[in-house]
Amino acid sequence: MPRRSPSTPRTPVRVAVMVSGSGTNLQALLDAIEADPDFGGEVVVVGSDRAGAGGLDRARDAGIPTVVCALADAPDRPTWEAGLRAELEQHDPQVIVLAGFMKILTAVFLAGWPDRVINTHPSLLPAFRGARAVGEALAYGVKLTGCTVHLVDEQVDHGPIVAQEAVAVRDGDTETSLHGRIQRVEHRLLPAAVKLLCHGALQLDGRHVRAVLDPDTPDPDTPDPKEPS
């Protein structure tokens, strides 16, 4: 994917955000964009599979167009996904952010935005994939869980990892209390990862993702071929 420095003047990358719930990660992203003139992206549409999703209200309050494509309104899943993609494409997004979007997207959808669909998940992947990650972590008795921001592929919670951060599980934690602490980390990690994606600063090598903030600056861990070893 193309790379450039965050300081390079440019037209903001057009971002679509997908939500299914209250939209706290959407709000964190909107706040980060507003606070950072060098963010490099702007949210141009917010989509959901649920008409009652709170994230849609956040988008409307911010003056951002919204689209709703409910799976129950489509005759089958491929038709639903094609309709969702068509609705989003009307806003010409270049990056898709899944911010608490609780529907699986297939390779057909992802092909429209190769390596430019990003998701946040409330566990340290590959542990506890799927929709019940926080509850499963508690039930398993782990001492550490956390959140993962990753590029999306055709498998559930599987794509290359962009960022992770651990969150300790406390004695007496409930799913609500643990998820709340994980979300506070997500609210930092997701905007930071989206900014890198908007700047084309994610270098992908198989499953390995490296952030390259300035393509003209050598990696300090890479030996200079002109210097003797």
Q: Could you confirm whether 121 is annotated as catalytic?
A: yes
Catalytic one of 121, 150, 187, 199: 121
Torsion-angle region of residue 111: left (phi > 0), alpha (psi -120 to 50) or beta? alpha
Active site residues: 121
